[in-house]
């Protein structure tokens, strides 16, 4: 049975690209998309996907992290990956604190995005390689302060 993915992004080109990427994976299927929080939340409530890909910056000053917070409260078993152009550490850290299991950058390769989806669906966490380096550096620095 294919794992179902739902996309929340307000750029039609990005949504089309992600849908096509997901369609190429034998074990994944895209079951819907939305460009705003309310429609996506209603769809997710009805469809109960395995995983949701959420962009942080949405139209009408909506923030995908608000949706992430609602999903964690209402549907804690649905995996969430943030997919964003925002590479600032603050956004990455906040997304994980709010319950994201993955964070990928829109500049990452399609291979990395598919890897992120599969990794998170297995129950593991995923960060882009540039963020992995930063997290490792932060961890090592915290060890030296003990």
Bridge pairing between strands 79-84 and 28-34? unpaired
Q: Which domains does the chain have, with CATH numbers?
A: 3-144 (3.40.50.2300)
Residue 22: name the closest of 107, 124, 118 by CA.
118
pTM of the predicted model as reported, rounded to 2 decimal places: 0.91
Which sign does the torsion angle of CA 12, 16, 22, 28 carry?
Answer: positive
Instruction: Report the DSSP beta bridge partners of residue 8.
Output: 34, 54
- Which residues, in sequence order, are CB contacts of 90 under 8 Å at separation 6+? none
122 vs 145: CA distance, rounded Å: 33
pLDDT of the chain along its 146 residues, tens only?
A: 899 999 999 999 999 999 999 999 999 999 999 999 999 999 999 999 999 999 999 988 899 999 999 999 999 999 999 999 988 888 999 999 999 999 999 988 899 999 999 999 999 999 988 787 777 777 788 787 76
Q: pLDDT, tens digit, for every residue of 88-111? A: 888 999 999 999 999 999 988 899
Which sign does the torsion angle of CA 48, 50, 43, 73 carry?
Answer: positive
């Amino acid at each position: 049975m294919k794992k179902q993915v739902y996309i929340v992004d307000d750029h039609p080109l990005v949504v089309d690209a992600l849908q096509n990427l997901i369609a190429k994976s034998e074990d994944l299927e895209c079951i819907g998309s939305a460009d705003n929080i309310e429609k996506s939340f209603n769809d997710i409530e009805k469809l109960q996907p395995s995983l949701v890909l959420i962009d942080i910056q949405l139209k009408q000053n909506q923030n995908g992290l608000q949706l992430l917070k609602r999903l964690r409260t209402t549907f804690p078993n649905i995996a969430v990956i943030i997919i964003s152009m925002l590479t600032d550490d603050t956004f990455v850290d906040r997304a994980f604190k709010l319950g994201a299991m993955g964070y990928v950058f829109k500049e990452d390769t399609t291979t990395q995005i598919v890897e992120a989806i599969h990794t998170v669906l297995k129950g593991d966490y995923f960060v882009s390689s540039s963020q992995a380096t930063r997290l490792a550096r932060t961890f090592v620095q915290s060890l030296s302060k003990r």
